[in-house]
Amino acid sequence: MKPREAEKPKSFIVGGAEIAAPPLQPALYLVATPIGNLSDITLRALETLAGADMLACEDTRVTRVLLQRYGIRRRMTAYHEHNEAEAAPRLIAAIEEGKSVALASDAGTPLVSDPGFRLVQAAQEKGLRVVPLPGPSAVLAALTASGLATDSFLFAGFLPTKTKQRENRLEALAAVPATLVFFESPRRLAASLEAMERVLGKRQAAVARELTKAFEEVRRGTLDALAAHYAEAGAPKGEVVVCVAPPGEAGPADAEETDRLLLALAAEMPAAKAAGEAARMTGGRKSELYQRLLELKEGRGGN
C-alpha cells in the first residue's frame, strides 16, 4: 500500500515572505475580511483563513481572490442564506469532532447584514467556543468618516423597498437618540433619502460609497440636499452606507434658518404648534425649539 503523503504545512504570504499558520483550537472563528482594499486584512485573519480545518464563506469566488492575494491555497465550502439549513449542521458537527471552522463574509464582519447568526446560536447551544476576529466594517468606516456623533449609534441595516413599509420603519426610528446607520442600494438611494427627509426632517447626514476603494467618496449635507443631489445625478456606483444625525442635532449652518422657520410658523399658528411643526420639519426636539421660539419672540418684543 502506497504510504500517505505528508500534509503540506499551512501558511500564507505577506510581502514575499511565507509565514506558517499556527494550529487552531476547535472553535467557530468569525473572520472579518476587507470591504474593498485587500491590504486591510489583519495578520490574525490570515492565520485563521490559512490554518482552519474548514473555511466557510458566502461566495467561494469572492473569497478566492483574497486567498490568492496572500498565497493561501485551500478548499472552501459555501455558506449562505440559501444553504444555511443544510450547511450549518455539518459545520457544527465538524467542531464537535475537534476541528476548527472559520466563517468569512464576502466583505466586512460576518453576521453584520450577512447570514451566520443561526450558526453562532447553534454553536452556543452546543457549548462550543465562538471566536470573533475584529477587522474591517463598512458600518464603522462610514460612521467615523461621516462627521456625525459617534458616542451612540444604531445600525438599522437595509430599509424596506416598499414606500409605506419604508416610512413606517423610519417613523419607528425617528426618536432614537443616536446616529442612524443604513445600508442602501444605489438605485434606491435617492428615494430613501427623500423618505428620510419626509419622516426624520432636515437632519445632517452623510452618504459614503466605495469605502476603501479607488473612488471612495463621502458626501455630507442635509437630507433634502443629498436627496436632491442623487435625484439629479442618478444612482451612484458601488455599495452605499447612509449615516443620519440624531434628532435635534442640526448643523451650525442651519441655526439661522431654523430661527427664520420658527418665526414664520409662529406668525401663522400658536407657539406650541409652531414648535411642533418645526420639530417635524427639522428633526429637532419640540421642547428645545419651543424654548428657542420664546427667546426669539422676547427679543423681538413679543410674548
For 136-192, write each residue's pLDDT tens digit: 999 999 999 999 999 999 999 999 999 999 999 999 999 999 999 999 999 999 999
Based on the number of CB atoms within 10 Å of its own CB, is 81 exposed (0-12), middle (13-18) or buried (19 or more)?
A: exposed
What is residue 253's DSSP assignment? Answer: G
Q: In 3D, which of 164, 166, 213, 204 has the Cα closest to residue 185?
A: 166
Quick one: average pLDDT of 5-31?
90
Flag whether pLDDT at 214 surpasses 50: yes
Question: What is the CB neighbour count within 10 angstroms for residue 234?
Answer: 11
| pLDDT at residue number 251 | 52
In percent, the amount of the chain with pLDDT more than 90 equals 75
Q: For 243-265, write each residue's pLDDT tens digit.
A: 999 997 655 446 777 888 888 88
Sign, CA torsion 59/61/62/66:
positive
Q: What cell was used for 14? A: 505577506
| pLDDT at residue number 279 | 75
Q: In terms of pTM, does the model score above 0.85? A: no
Quick one: average pLDDT of 57-80?
95
pLDDT category, 297, cuts 50, 70, 90?
Answer: confident
Q: List Cβ neighbours of 137 (8 Å cut-off, separation of 6 or more).
A: 32, 35, 108, 109, 112
How far is it, in rounded angstroms, from Cα 180 to Cα 177?
9
